[in-house]
Amino acid sequence: MGKNVFSLMIFFLITIFIIMSVNLAFARTFNNDFETGDLTDWEKTGTAFDFQPTWGDNPTARNRGQPSNHQGDWWLGLAEKYQGPEKGAALGQNPGDLADGVDAPQGTLTSIEFVIVGESMNFLMGGGNRAWGTAEPCCVNLVINGEVERTMTGSNTETMTRREWDVSDLKGKTAQLVVVDSSSGGWGHPNFDDVHQANASGENIPWGQATAVEARGKLAVSWAQMKKYYK
């Protein structure tokens, strides 16, 4: 009897270990800051994101007087058309180049699914002040079950500033971020970068805690993602 109980305990422990190993294997980081240099973990529609993400402080490169204030090297700046010293140079792009039609292109960019695990979300936001619910919104939305739960716009400047949503009432729910460019008029573009969830102390939470199982099978991991996280 004792031997059977011991065997069952060993079997139980091995099973738990295997389950934990599988979940850890599928745990992944989210391309929250576009530092892969591409749109890994995001799906685009339309043409507004054709030359995104952009590289470097392009507004300053063309003497705009409104520095981008981006994090790292890459960010979403939908008026920009410079994809870095390698890809951009190969395509004949130069720092400070404006996108074809500047504000004319439209489209959306939707993230993979993730779970709300923090008390708040923070990110860099700039570009046009065209709110969701108006005729031509340019904004970033937090979407749950097809409903917009939170939204944010820029302030009619290329310079991004740190913005925050209280998401404490949404904890445990599965969400997506959607960057929206539905305007072709003046300031008809959003700028966006470096999104995080944070705990009650304001400390950013590793994205692996929010995408461990939910991202399984949603999108393939690209070589750019592998280069970033598996050096």
pLDDT at 211: 84
* Residues in CB range of 118: below 8 A, 6 or more apart: 167, 171, 196, 197, 198, 199, 205, 210
User: Which DSSP string corresponds to 174-204?
Assistant: EEEEEEEE---STT--EEEEEEEEE-TTSPE
Q: With beta carbons less than 8 A apart as the criterion, state whether 103 and 41 touch.
A: no
pLDDT at 108: 98
pLDDT at 206: 94
128 dihedral zone (left: phi>0; alpha: psi -120 to 50; beta): beta
Range name among 3-17, 89-103, 108-122 with the lowest pLDDT average: 3-17
* Of the candidates 78, 66, 104, 68, the residue with the CA atom closest to the CA atom of residue 186: 104
Question: Which band of pLDDT confidence, cut at 50, 70 and 90, is reported for residue 68?
Answer: very high
pLDDT at 15: 40
Question: Which band of pLDDT confidence, cut at 50, 70 and 90, is reported for residue 216?
Answer: very low
Q: With beta carbons less than 8 A apart as the criterion, state whether 149 and 76 touch.
A: no
Query: pLDDT for 15-44, tens place per residue?
Result: 434 333 334 334 568 999 999 999 999 999
Domain boundaries, the chain: 2-50+103-229
Class of domain 2-50+103-229: mainly beta
Does the pLDDT at position 223 exceed 90?
A: no
d(CA 55, CA 21): 37
